[in-house]
Amino acid sequence: MGSYSSARKSFQFRLHPGERRVILVVGDALVTCLALLISIYLWGQMDWLDFSMELLAERIPTWFFFLPAIWLVLNLEMYDIRRAGRKDETVKGVAITAVVCLILYLFLFFLSEPGSLPRRGVATFIIASSILVLIWRFTYIRIFTAPEFMRRVLIVGAGRGGATMIKVFKELWPPPFYLVGLIDDDEAKHHTCVDGFPVLGGSRDLLDIIEREQVTDIVFAITGEMCDDMFQALLQAEEMGINITSMAVLYEELLGRVPIFLLRSDWILRSFVDEARADGFYELSKRLLDILGGFVGTLILGLVTPFIGLAILLESGRPVFYTQGRLGKNGREYQIIKFRTMRNLYDEDGDLLPDKDRITRVGWFLRKSHLDELPQFVNVLRGEMSLVGPRAEISQLVDNLQSKVPFYRARLLVKPGITGWAQVNFHYAVTVEETAIKLEYDLYYIKHRRLLLDIIILLRTIGTVIGFRGQ
């Protein structure tokens, strides 16, 4: 036990995803504040040649000091640990953030009085932030994705749950941890491999394996009954300071989804409903946010409707708006409102053509920019929808899919949303398999929904719209 205790000292720097995310946020905040100081210094050298506090207060607008916070918000997508560990995604993320900053500034520039905005200061901040953030992020990749900072994980259970966890692990790059192997009390599985990873032994060997392989974390992936020997071994491992996590929890942590195909049929009643129950403060805050967002969205709708409506009429005639019955919270039906993006076109046999063949050119633009969904803000004000929630579906589709996808009807526990966790993390579902993945995202949102998560989804949606990545 003494040798293991000394070995554990080397594990103190092995970081969990949440800790890595904090390091990224703190690092980005520090380098963007440094970029702000550099921009003020260089701007002052070019324009003022003086740095008295009076001059700073006079010449620098208050909003200029919030540029680091604006950068962090626009760079929100890059706090996904998987993206943060890849150099190509890092370069792409910084480039998109810099371009969006520039576009927002130019938008303000043309609406402001001539000479009222600090062009040199903003330009210097964008350039300095891009360079410093890239240097910091590459340093992070070099240091914090090294083996010394990675958790060493052992999976308990070499059956369906363990195999699923390995499949998830192999699909992620960079790897979120180092996987040493599996253990299982079925002796027939000993000294075999599960998708390339060895089954190292059973419960009697657990403590020796932990010491030999310097294991820091155990993932419990047994979906059936657990024997007493395994239970006692896991208790001893926890007493030694090993982190023990269930497969379902780690699956959610790594993918932001709920593993619906590995959960028992009574999971909705035993666990999900209790964990997904939101408190009154959240429900009130969410409704106030919906009213505020719905009001602002309806104002924007009023401004753009004459232009969008004219474009639709010129290309494909009436109607401008399209309504359809959708299922809301608790299965109540309502009429969703959208700008029309398709024609009613039929083939030689009189059957309606596929959607992709009926989309108009104006409709393609409206879908890519998500402008076709602006009328849904009226649904939000009515209380039929929320700003954030699962995608609204027609009743026939729900009836069809609930027989093929486990827990599909559980998405009706909350109001549908204009945007949602599934929408910002996954493309439109075409197959049943893709629908199941989107449902996993929806159930994750329902289970973990909080005001902060709603705000993060809204900010990511804005980034999607600005980046023109709609479908």
Is residue 313 one of the residues assigned to a domain?
yes
Condensed to tens digits (0 to 9), the pLDDT of residues 268-288 reads: 666 666 666 777 889 999 999
Quick check: is 6 in a domain?
Answer: no
**448 domain residue, yes or no:** yes
Tens-level pLDDT at each residue, the chain (471 residues):
444 444 444 445 577 777 888 999 999 999 999 999 998 888 777 655 455 555 566 677 888 889 999 899 888 888 888 888 888 889 988 998 898 888 888 877 776 666 666 778 888 999 999 999 999 999 999 888 777 788 899 999 999 899 999 999 998 888 888 999 999 999 999 999 999 999 999 999 999 999 999 999 999 998 777 888 899 999 999 998 899 999 988 898 888 899 988 877 666 666 666 666 777 889 999 999 999 999 999 999 999 999 999 999 998 888 999 999 999 999 999 999 999 998 876 555 555 566 667 789 998 999 888 889 999 999 999 999 999 999 999 988 898 898 889 889 989 999 999 999 999 888 888 888 999 999 999 999 999 999 989 998 998 887 666 654 444
Determine, yes or no, domain membership for 272. no
Domain at 190, CATH number? 3.40.50.720
Enclosing domain of residue 433: 280-466
Where is the domain boundary, 89, 120, 144?
144
Closest alpha carbon to 156 in 129, 131, 186: 186
Local structure of residue 391 (DSSP, 8 states): P
Q: Is 99 within the bounds of a domain?
A: yes
Examine the domain organization and report whether 224 and 246 are in the same domain. yes
For the sheet containing 217-220, what is the strand order?
Answer: 178-183, 152-156, 217-220, 243-246
Domain co-membership, 297 together with 441: yes
122 and 41 belong to one structural domain: yes
Which residues have CB under 8 Å from 321's CB, separation 6+? 337, 338, 339, 340, 375
Residues 218 and 118 in one domain: no
Q: Which of 201, 216, 212, 211 is CA-nearest to residue 156?
A: 201
Of 194, 148, 189, 200, give the one whose Cα is nearest residue 169: 194
207 and 166 within one domain: yes
Residue with tokens 């409506």: 309
Instruction: Note whether 168 and 111 are same-domain residues.
Output: no
Sign of CA dihedral 337, 338, 339, 341: negative
Determine, yes or no, domain membership for 109: yes
| Together in a domain, 76 and 202 | no
Q: Which of 144, 167, 195 is the last residue before a domain boundary?
A: 144
Do 59 and 92 lie in a common domain?
yes
Q: Per the structure, how many domains does the chain have?
A: 3
Asked whether residue 271 is domain-assigned, the answer is no
Pair 315, 444 in one domain: yes
Shared domain for 294 and 345, answered yes or no, is yes
Residue 264 lies in a domain: no
Q: Are residues 236 and 335 in the same domain?
A: no
> Tens digits of per-residue pLDDT, 308-364?
999 999 988 889 999 999 999 999 999 999 999 988 765 555 555 666 677 899 989
Pick the last residue of a domain from 118, 144, 170.
144
**Is the link from the previous residue into 375 a cis peptide, with omega within 30 of 0?**
no
- The answer on 195 and 98 residing in a single domain is no
Strand partners, 198: 193
pLDDT tens across 94-129, in order?
A: 998 898 888 888 877 776 666 666 778 888 999 999
